[in-house]
Structure 1
Amino acid sequence: MKKHIFAICDPEAEYARNFMDYLNRKKNLPFEVQAFTGSESLVAYGKEHRIELLLIAEEAVCGELRDLDIGKIIVLTEGVGSAEKSPYAGVYKYQSSAQVVREVMACYGEEASVLPVQSPVLKKTTEVLGIYSPSGRCLKTSFALTLGQLLGKNRPVLYLNMEEYSGFDSLFGKNFPANLSDLLYYVRQGEQNLTARINSMVQTVGQLDFIPPVQSPLDIRGTPWQDWICLIREIMLHSPYETLILDIGNGLDEVFQILDMCGRIYMPVLPDKMSCCKLAQFENLLRILEYPQILTKIRRLQLPFHSELEKSDFYVDQLPWSNLGDYVKELIRKEMI
């Protein structure tokens, strides 16, 4: 099964080449990328191949495009108001490649009703790793971010934080324009092009992709478990990600249903009396509710604390190089994740 074509056309050869190189380095885009520096070569290619998505410089737009089989055309604009001259959606050219991609995928996702239904992506089976603990203050999220960054060096990895309070705006020092709440809205609406929506929201730290978490705990508590299952299955079936890391909080509806979807569950634990009692209650509840299979997936972890990073402005980026990073590297080697 061939991938859809994402074509870039820009007379600035260096821009076209650099942008194509960026797309080829991204592991989360389910496209084959083709770059052109002129409309003639683009039109000649388009007569022989269907182009699903075309990103084209304003000066390269020509009448022959109307005769080609192109799913969506987006124009690279160079200034405010220039997009008004074009019948096509526009994206400002001179911004970061990551932001251009997010805006392009947002435009692409809006055309879900006219685009072809996505076919399953050819890839290895997506491994779903759950990070969960009934105890608090056990480095659960730090472990998940460390694991994701290290695994992301060798494969496409997506991280979803499913906690009521993630603190990511403060952690990364920025406000994200779109987050998991928006994605869950599209799930509820039966969106047919969720992969494009995901790609329009993806942020990256190191080589780990993540969807910014919800800002309100109500979006976690008010989401039925069926919607979470739908989203997880969509990522497994239609995205190129080979590993999905779920940072699971206790506010989820039917948390055991989510845990049951995970191939492995990493559970940071603490040695104190209260933490052990909470863990015992959790495991007993699994048996009472007839989820004994979840117990076989759990790997208990006592994680090393890393106080040397606590005041760092680059906390997340430095996690792979910390004591916790060394611990996770050894875990990856032993578990062959």
Structure 2
Amino acid sequence: MRHIIAVIDTDIRFALKLSDFLSKEDRIPFKAVAYTSFHMYSNETSSMEIVAFITDLDNVDECISTGLPVILLSDDAMVKSKYTNSSKLFCSIFKFCGVHIIVDELLGFFSQNDSFGLNSTCKNTKVYGVYSPINRCGRSSLSVAFHSYFCSESNSSLLISFDEYDSVFAVLRKENSRDLSDVFYCYKTGDLNFAKLGECISRVEDLNILLPARYNEDLFYLSDNELTKFMNDILMANLFEIIVIDFGSIGRRSMQILDMCEKIFCPIMGESGSVESTKINEFKSLLGRNGYSEIIHKLHEIKLPKDDISTDIFNFTKLKRHDYFIQISKIAEGL
């Protein structure tokens, strides 16, 4: 059965526009369906599993009677006293604020509600890694390029960076930006759900990016086993169709996560026989010695064109014109 947020509003144009936006919002792993009344909803939900209601005042009583979480869209930014503090499953949002504010309010509401956890039993998410034992090889740019391609093909995709530094992501860092440090803390304390994960994701263009940890030592906040379990839990939640991992320096440390990847792309800058190639061969030998020889077959070295994409990395209109991105697109098309 499909998991659905029911948007009920007598103004069907508003309901349709809001449900369409929510269905495309990757931070909310449910589809949204519009209805003009609770009666219409009741007659059309046999093949759907409703997880929450977003409704106007005309239909709120019927929605509350179901016992499911209800978000009231208030016309005047005020809620009638009869609904105030009625339940932890109820909140109110001003109907005519921006849609991004509505999404943030929904995430905040869901994060306080135990019924919205990382508890899906499906495992359809595909994972692609970008790793190299060589520093300053363009690894992060390559991960953004792959992520950009997947998003451009309307795939629900998340980029997770385990880098020790912000590198290309520095331009996205704001004073109040949340990142991998926040996610690890919530996970360690048992307080991570999809809403809190969504609050920690930075968005630019159509990209969803989990920024690197603020401090290098935060990468070790989770033990190796906890880090592996963290990734498995993210995959089991099935929130995204594709996850791209910028491995940073944890590739040698977390071979179990490397093993989760369908493919692992290694950017190559030098020629064969170079020091770079030697280090990659040494890494392959390390995989064999540690019992992960099957990962070697997932490694794909990519010799990238000398095309500077740094200034256009987060501008898809310009990025797709680069030979660099055209090459990555052709590789991704065959995945």
1:302-317 equivalence runs, <5 A: 302-307=303-308, 309-312=309-312, 314-315=314-315
Q: Which residue of 1 aligns with 2:112?
A: 110
Where 1:321 maps in the other structure, the secondary structure is: coil
Q: Distance in 1 between matches of 2:127 and 2:313?
A: 30
Q: For the structure 1 residues 226 and 285, does the alpha-carbon distance in structure 2 shift closer, same or farther, using more than 3 Å as the test?
A: same
One-letter code aligned to 2:20: D
1:173-322 equivalence runs, <5 A: 174-175=174-175, 177-191=177-191, 194-251=193-250, 254-271=253-270, 273-307=274-308, 309-312=309-312, 314-315=314-315, 318-322=318-322
1:68-79 equivalence runs, <5 A: 68-70=66-68, 72-77=69-74
CA contact (8 A) 2:55 2:71 kept: yes
Q: Distance in 1 between matches of 2:223 and 2:159?
A: 20
TM normalised by structure 2 equals 0.81
**TM-fit CA distance, 1:46:** 8.7
Show CA shifts across 1:106-145 (max 9, x none).
3213212x56883424x7x322111001112222111111
Where 2:266 maps in the other structure, the secondary structure is: strand
Q: Which residue of 2 aligns with 1:138?
A: 137
CA contact (8 A) 2:163 2:248 kept: yes
Which one is further off, 256-265 or 203-212? 203-212
Q: Distance in 2 between matches of 1:291 and 1:34?
A: 45
Q: For the structure 1 residues 41 and 154, does the alpha-carbon distance in structure 2 shift closer, same or farther, using more than 3 Å as the test?
A: closer
**TM-fit CA distance, 1:159:** 1.3
Q: Distance in 2 between matches of 1:22 and 1:69?
A: 25
How many pairs were matched up?
326
One-letter code aligned to 1:326: I
CA contact (8 A) 1:269 1:275 kept: yes
**TM-fit CA distance, 1:248:** 0.3
One-letter code aligned to 1:73: V
CA contact (8 A) 2:148 2:316 kept: no
Unaligned runs of 5+ in 1: none
Q: Distance in 2 between matches of 1:154 and 1:66?
A: 34
Show CA shifts across 1:282-336 (max 9, x none).
23322333322221211011212323x4445954663333121111122124xx2
Q: Distance in 1 between matches of 2:47 and 2:19?
A: 21
TM normalised by structure 1 equals 0.81
**TM-fit CA distance, 1:102:** 3.6
Q: Distance in 1 between matches of 2:276 and 2:282?
A: 10
Q: Distance in 2 between matches of 1:261 and 1:48?
A: 33
Where 1:6 maps in the other structure, the secondary structure is: strand
Q: Root-mean-square deviation (CA), in Å? A: 3.4
CA contact (8 A) 2:117 2:193 kept: no
Q: Distance in 2 between matches of 1:324 and 1:178?
A: 30
Where 1:257 maps in the other structure, the secondary structure is: helix
CA contact (8 A) 1:28 1:239 kept: no
Q: For the structure 1 residues 214 and 79, does the alpha-carbon distance in structure 2 shift closer, same or farther, using more than 3 Å as the test?
A: farther
Which one is further off, 85-94 or 287-296? 85-94
Q: Distance in 2 between matches of 1:236 and 1:264?
A: 16
**TM-fit CA distance, 1:256:** 2.0
Q: Distance in 2 between matches of 1:310 and 1:131?
A: 17
Show CA shifts across 1:7-47 (max 9, x none).
12334433221111112334664434222344665577799
One-letter code aligned to 1:292: S
Show CA shifts across 1:41-63 (max 9, x none).
55777999864212234x44644
Identity percentage of aligned residues:
20
Q: For the structure 1 residues 223 and 173, does the alpha-carbon distance in structure 2 shift closer, same or farther, using more than 3 Å as the test?
A: closer
Which one is further off, 221-230 or 30-39? 30-39
